Every structure is written in structure tokens, then in C-alpha cells.
Amino acid sequence: MDVLKRVPIKEQEPIERIHNFDEVCFGYTPDEAVREAQRCLECKNAPCVKGCPVEVKIPEFIKLIKEKKFKESYLKILETNLLPAICGRVCPQETQCEQNCVRGIKGEPIAIGKLERFVADWFRQNCEFEFSKPQPNKRKVAIIGSGPAGLSCASSLAKMGYNVTIFEAFHKLGGVLYYGIPEFRLPKEVVEWEIENLKKMGVEFRTNMIFGKTFDLEDLKQEGFDAVFISSGAGLPNFLNIEGELLNGIYSANEFLTRINLMKAYKFPEYDTPIKLGKKVGVIGGGNVAMDAARVARRLGSEVYILYRRTEAEMPARKEEILHAKEEGIKIIELVSPVKFIGDETGHVKALELVKMQLSQPDSSGRRSVKPIDGSNFVFEADNFIVAIGQSPNPLVKKAIPDLELNPNGSIKVDENLMTNIEGVFAGGDIVTGAATVILAMGMGKKAAQSIDRYLNAKKV
Amino acid sequence: MNEIVIKQNLAPNVWLMGIYSPQVAKKSNPGQFVILRVAENGERIPLTIADFDREKGVVYIIFQVVGKTTSLLSQLNIGDRIIDFVGPLGMPYEHNPEDKNYLFVAGGLGIPAIFSKVKMLHSQGKNIDIIIGGRSKENIFFEDELKKYCNNLYISTNDGSYGKKGFVTDILNELLESGKRYDEIFAVGPVPMMKAVVDITKKYQIKTLVSLNPIMVDGTGMCGGCRVKIGNEVKFACVDGPIFDGFEVDFDGLMKRNSYYQDLENISYREHKCKIGLGE
């Protein structure tokens, strides 16, 4: 065995997987996991841990895999990371833990994410989730939004004996984990299992509750909640604000993915929510959401092009997602920027005018800017376009709490303890950071739980 | 929760239901809507809140059977539960307290949509005239309920079987031509009707509001499916609306967007009818 190389992981062949929504990666077998774990050098200073937003005890959980103590390994991760099966699948490890791996200097870094996923899946399939309830402390905390920040905050608080209720606007739990990330990257079964565990921990969930519409801060106060954590996400899709954006056949990535993931439109007419996609689809953007949208479109049978204003090297998407997309036959058109959509006589989009872009020399920060090349406009024909250029904070929260202080970009302003300008009201996740990663949101949820605990202890509620 | 407490047939294929949902009733205001889902594999559909009773915790909706979801909903009975019932969504109706004279123009399912607004304005002592219209006599409903709250109620039917033969806009034209003036006109109904109303009221420069019902998924501003051009701006009907200044609405664009899924919705409805033995 070449210790410089990773133990290869089995995946569904591209030719097969473009016809289904099953998970792409099969995950390691116990034998493969142990072999991969054996490559770990167990560095004393553990640079990998420093790359992890929640400081998973990486060398320790990997050591337990070497010893085939998979259950213990899972529990070791759980000490700091509440959703290992999810993080093992969707974290950008290559820019976090794995980037710092000493093995990576000469060879391939340890597949930390895949090992994390392995123990989490092994535990789910072989063990019962056990939770010894702490002494209840009689304090009630309300969490708004059941995405990664909310779930991790709830879990931390439940462990400290809090009485926690999560309010979710949709009819399904999990926030972006449910409506945003497709089944082939994160099976809903995994999300549901994690949520079931939270229920076992005593966390209460209420669906169909829209903050600022169905209930507000005053209602929470009247119900006796001592603190509130707002983790309602970045739920407002950005559009390009160019001519023709209201033509039929143009989706925001949010709408496209919500129809698919939440409403299961890919199973129409077995499910009632429809989706319409023609032969050729253009996806605008270069992040993970753009990759998800492109790969979903591919699975619906379309020929898919990703249109990006910089080059593949600058794409914010995870390398693995870009690779998977390309393997599935998705083509990337680099250095193009949308100018206007062109419609047919029925009001349906038929093309997008693009302008070619050029990269400048790197500036002092090393970042290369782009600018349009005059007169290089051309027309790109397609049946549908999906706009995946990011999300902004949902405006409903601001409407619900008019006194809430916001940052200039509309996100909620918080102090170092994640408390907003309103006492007892904390916030975290994408509503504070703008659209970011699952793990960052989880890290904030955990931190908020600690802050809430400190705050309520000091207040002696 | 979400239990059906009242069910009444108002007109062919038009039903009124009272849903027990204290949390939605408590926050409801005229002009807002709910989103509901009636089956585990079902769609989320928006429906206007026709009326609400905060004390009893009941929200009233009125719907016409036009597709699979509304057909399934119509098959539910008193005592059944609606699996998901979310709201109230959208911005409440706002009016200038100094305005005195109001005219409501409603066609088809727009008739119940004006009810809670009319009731509210009536309680403030405003002068209210109402024009309602439908295809035929059997499509006119809520006449007695509305009469209680207005000065004049005018009715038109396309076939002349009840009220004046023609369209609501014919009556509107007559009223305005005869010199009647209003501080505000509110139109709800099919998009072409609202467009026709605005075409008339523009000539008289009378402030006109309309309530839109575009395609929606979440109803919270998250998907942008309901985006509609208002003047030079793109607005999301679910969070910015559903009520907009009628002079600013791009009705043609809205009509095109609303028709986008028609073919697939027809497939869904047809299959459903076959299953329940109503096949064509």
C-alpha cells in the first residue's frame, strides 16, 4: 500500500448516477476505513484540528478507527461535533482540516471527512442513540429555524438541561439541509435520523411557524421563553437585476432546489409539485448551490452548462462538487457575465446574452478582479436558466423586530457573544454571516448555546 | 389544530371552509393569505383569508376546485384535519384613514377575497359600493353577506342570468361616467379583469389597488417564484404584496408567469380524477 495515496472510495458511476437521485458516494467499508485511518500520523500538535471550526478531535477519533472501536470513535467526534454524518458529507474539508494535514505535504491528506462519515454511518446502522438526560434546569429557550445553526444550538442546550423548542417555517425539519442540499449529496434519511435524536434528547419541534408572521418575540415572552436564538438562514435569493429576468423558465436556485428537495418535484406526478426543464439548461454561478442545481438539472435529463464570471480555479464550490459535476458531463463556460435574457413570443426565455470577461493581474491581496471585454457580447441559447448567485438575509425577521440592529448588507448585527442589540435575543448562522457553510453555522449555534447559558446564569433566571 | 369546523358549498365547485387554527387567526388581518397542503405528497397552495374569528380561533377560506389540491381539499369534511396550514402571510391591507368613499370590484373568487376588507372599512363608517360579477347566476355568491356592509351592491353576469348582462367593468364604466367618484377602488379577481379595471380607473386617475395571486412555493420570500414587476421594480408578491398599486402592475407579465405550469397541472388533475373515478 502506498501511504502517500488515499484508500480509494467507491462511488456510483457517472453514467448511472445521472439517472437517479441516490447518493453518489458509497462511503468506506470498515476494512477500507481502517486502512485509510492507518495512514494518520497522529501528530501531537494536530494541525488538522486547528482547521476545523468546531475542533473535532481528529487524531483521537482516527486512532479509535485503527483499533476498530467505531462506536467509541463516533462518540469521540460527538464530543465537539453534533452532526458528524452531515459534516462528513458536506464540509469543505479540503480548505479546512485536510488542508492542514501533514500527510498532504508529500502525498494526499488523510480522508478525514470520509472517515468521519464512515463512523457516523456505522453508528447509525449498528447502534441505538442513547442520551442520559441531564437534570432539567427549568429554563426555556426558543430557536427560530431548524437548519444547522439551530440544530446544533438546540443540542448543546439540551445537554445542559434546557427546555428547547425549535420553530420551523416549513412543514419539514432541517432547513437548508432539507430544502437546499440534494438527496444525492446528503440523503434526507441522514438528516431525519439526526433530528430524531434531538427529539430523544427532549427538544420540541413546531413546524409551519413563521417568525414575524405566525408568532413574534412578544408571543415567545408570553410563553415563558427566557432567551431566543435566531437562526433563520439566508433565505432571500439574489437575482441579477438584468433585463428579462421575469421571463418564464428562469428559476432562482432556491426555487429550483426547493421544488426538487422539499417538494420532490422530480417525482411528479407521484408528487404534485411540478418542475419544468428543457433540453438545455444554463446555470449562473460558481458556488456549491450552483453545482447542486446543475447536477439536479442533469439528473432531470438536461444538457447543462455552468456559466461563471471567473475561471474554475476561483470557483467557491468544493473541489469535489466541481469534479463530480464535470464527471456527470456538465460543461463549464468560464469568464462570462450575463447581460440580458432574451425571450420568445410566449414570454419564455430562449437565450442569454453574455459578455466575455478577463482576469486582471492579482492585486496586493492576491485576488484577481474581472472586467468585461468591450464588444465581446454573444448569445447563449438555452431552454432554462437557473440563477445561483447567492442569498441575502430574509427580510421577515427585520419586519418582525423593527428595533433589531442590522449590518449594511441586511444581516443581523451581533456582539462577540452572538447577542443582538436586543437583550436575550441571540443570532447565528447565515442570517449573521450571509450564505456560508454548514459547519460554520453549526459552530455558531454551539457558541450561542454557551453564551445563552452564561447570560441566563448571570441573570439568575 | 387545523381541523375543519365549517364546510359549505357556495356555488358549483366553490366551497367555504372554517379551519380551527388559533395561531393563524390570532395574527390575521384583512388582505393576508395562508398556504396549505392537504396530502403528504401534495403541493403548497396559497389561498386568501376570506375572514377570521380571533376569539373562536377560526380562519375562513373560500376556494374553487380547479386542480388536484383543491379537489382533495373539497373532499375533506368537518372534523378532518389539514396537514399543513401556515400563515398569515403577506402584508395586511392598508388604507388612508382620511379616505371616505370606497368601491370594490370583484369577479369570481375575488368575491370572498374582498369580504374582510369590506367588513373592516364598514366598521370604521366608510361609504362602500361593491360590484361583483360571474359567468352566470349560479357563480354569484356572498351577495347577502356583502350587502350587510355596503351602501350599494351591483351585480353583473356574463350571460345576463342575474343582475346586469356583461362584465363588472361595464358597471364600473357606468358609475364613473355618471359622475360617481371614489377615494379608492379595490379590484380582485382574474388577472384580465383586474387589468381591465385599471385601464378604466387610470383614465379617471382614481387610486386603484389590486390583490395578486401568482405562483408561489414557500410564501416567505425564499424562492422568488412569485416575482412580479411593479413599476420599474421587481417585487415578491408573497412578502411585499399581495396588494399592489394597480397602476404599477405588469399584468401581461403576470398572466404569462401564471400560465407556466398549466399543462403539468392539468396532467396532475386528470390523473387524480381518473383515480377517484371522475375520469373524463
Helix (H, G, I), strand (E, B) or coil at B196: helix
Alpha carbon distance B89, B62 (integer Å): 16
A12-44 confidence digits (pLDDT tens): 999 999 999 999 999 999 999 999 999 999 999
Rounded to the nearest angstrom, the minimum Cα separation between B220 and chain A is 8
Alpha carbon distance A351, A373 (integer Å): 20
Domain holding A404, by residue range, is 140-235+393-459
Does residue A416 share a domain with residue A378? no
Task: Give the Cβ contact number of residue A369 at 10 Å.
Answer: 12
> By CB neighbour count within 10 A (0-12 exposed, 13-18 middle, 19+ buried), where does A266 fall?
buried
Whether A268 and chain B come into contact, CB under 8 Å, resolves to yes
What residues contact residue B9 under an 8 Å CB cut-off, 6+ apart?
Answer: B15, B16
From B100, B101, B111, B102, select the one nearest B163 (Cα to Cα).
B111
Is there a domain that residue A32 lies in?
Answer: yes
Does residue A92 share a domain with residue A51? yes
Rounded to the nearest angstrom, the minimum Cα separation between A210 and chain B is 7
All residues of chain A having their beta carbon less than 8 Å from the beta carbon of residue B253 are: 246, 347
Does residue A230 share a domain with residue A243? no
Task: Give the Cβ contact number of residue B6 at 10 Å.
Answer: 12
Instruction: Give the pLDDT confidence score for residue B279 in this predicted structure.
Output: 53
Return the residue in A273, A289, A394 with the most chain B beta carbons within 10 A, the one to mutate for interface testing.
A273
CATH number of B101-211: 3.40.50.80
Whether A241 and chain B come into contact, CB under 8 Å, resolves to yes
Is there a domain that residue A171 lies in?
Answer: yes
Instruction: Give the pLDDT confidence score for residue B280 in this predicted structure.
Output: 47
Domain boundary among A99, A126, A153: A126
What residues contact residue A15 under an 8 Å CB cut-off, 6+ apart?
Answer: none
Q: What does DSSP say about strands B127-134 and A140-144: parallel, antiparallel, or unpaired?
A: unpaired
Does residue A150 share a domain with residue A90? no
Does residue A205 share a domain with residue A255? no
Does residue A294 share a domain with residue A376? yes
Does residue A156 share a domain with residue A89? no
Domain boundary among A95, A126, A157: A126
Label each residue of chain A as H, E or C: CCCCCCCCCCECCHHHHCCCCCCCECCCCHHHHHHHHCCCCCCCCCHHHHCCCCCCCHHHHHHHHHCCCHHHHHHHHHCCCCCHHHHHHHCCHHHCHHHHCCHHHHCCCCCHHHHHHHHHHHHHHHCCCCCCCCCCCCCEEEEECCCHHHHHHHHHHHHCCCEEEEECCCCCCCCHHHHCCCCCCCCHHHHHHHHHHHHHCCCEEECCCCECCCECHHHHHHCCCCEEEECCCCCEECCCCCECCCCECEEEHHHHHHHHHHCCHHHCCCCCCCCCCCCEEEEECCCHHHHHHHHHHHHCCCEEEEECCCCHHHCCCCHHHHHHHHHCCCEEECCEEEEEEEECCCCEEEEEEEEEEEECCCCCCCCCCEEECCCCCEEEECCEEEECCCEECCCHHHHHCCCCCECCCCCECCCCCCECCCCCEEECCHHHHCCCCHHHHHHHHHHHHHHHHHHHHHHCC
CA quadruple A280, A282, A287, A292: dihedral sign = negative
Nine-digit cell string for B210: 389590486
Alpha carbon distance A420, A431 (integer Å): 12
Cα dihedral A238→A242→A246→A250 (10° resolution): -70
Task: Give how many domains chain A has, as a whole number.
Answer: 3
Does residue A335 share a domain with residue A321? yes
Instruction: Give the pLDDT confidence score for residue B265 in this predicted structure.
Output: 82
CB contact under 8 A, B41 and A170: no
CB contact under 8 A, B264 and A274: yes
Strand order through the sheet with A331-333: A250-252, A384-387, A280-284, A303-307, A331-333
Tens-binned pLDDT, residue by residue, of chain B (280 aa): 999 999 999 988 999 999 999 999 999 999 999 999 999 999 999 999 999 999 999 999 999 998 889 999 999 999 999 999 999 999 999 999 999 999 999 998 889 889 999 999 999 999 999 999 999 999 998 899 999 999 999 999 999 999 999 999 999 999 999 999 999 999 999 999 999 999 999 999 999 999 998 888 988 888 888 999 999 899 998 999 899 999 999 999 898 888 888 888 888 888 888 877 765 4
A153-209 confidence digits (pLDDT tens): 999 999 999 999 999 999 999 999 999 999 999 999 999 999 999 999 999 999 999
Q: What is the CATH number of the domain that holds A96?
A: 1.10.1060.10
Q: What is the CATH number of the domain that holds A267?
A: 3.50.50.60
Low-confidence ranges of chain A (pLDDT < 70): 1, 461
**Contact in structure between A269 and A290 (CB atoms under 8 Å):** no
Is there a domain that residue A1 lies in?
Answer: no
**Contact in structure between A398 and A404 (CB atoms under 8 Å):** yes
Domain boundary among A344, A360, A387: A387
Is there a domain that residue A224 lies in?
Answer: yes
CB contact under 8 A, A258 and B23: no
This prediction's pTM: 0.92
Amino acid at A74: Y
E strand or H helix at B186, and its extent? strand B184-188
Is there a domain that residue A399 lies in?
Answer: yes
Average pLDDT, chain A: 93
Instruction: Give the pLDDT confidence score for residue A113 in this predicted structure.
Output: 95
Does residue A352 share a domain with residue A273? yes
Q: For B69, which residue in chain A has the nearest alpha carbon?
A: A272
Is there a domain that residue A210 lies in?
Answer: yes
Residues of chain B with CATH 3.40.50.80: 101-211
Does residue A184 share a domain with residue A113? no
Alpha carbon distance A407, A409 (integer Å): 5
Does residue A106 share a domain with residue A149? no
Whether B260 and chain A come into contact, CB under 8 Å, resolves to yes
Instruction: Give the pLDDT confidence score for residue A235 in this predicted structure.
Output: 81
What is B3-89's CATH topology? Answer: Elongation Factor Tu (Ef-tu); domain 3 (2.40.30)
Instruction: Give the pLDDT confidence score for residue A340 in this predicted structure.
Output: 97
Helix (H, G, I), strand (E, B) or coil at B106: strand
Residues linked to residue B64 through DSSP beta bridges, in sequence order: B14
Residues of chain B with CATH 2.40.30.10: 3-89
Does residue A359 share a domain with residue A224? no
Residue B78 annotated as binding site: no
Q: For B26, which residue in chain A has the nearest alpha carbon?
A: A214
Which of B43, B227, B264 has its CB closest to that of A263?
B43
Nine-digit cell string for A413: 448585527
Return the residue in A170, A208, A246 with the most chain B beta carbons within 10 A, the one to mutate for interface testing.
A208
Alpha carbon distance B139, A10 (integer Å): 62
Instruction: Give the pLDDT confidence score for residue A396 in this predicted structure.
Output: 86
Helix (H, G, I), strand (E, B) or coil at B214: coil
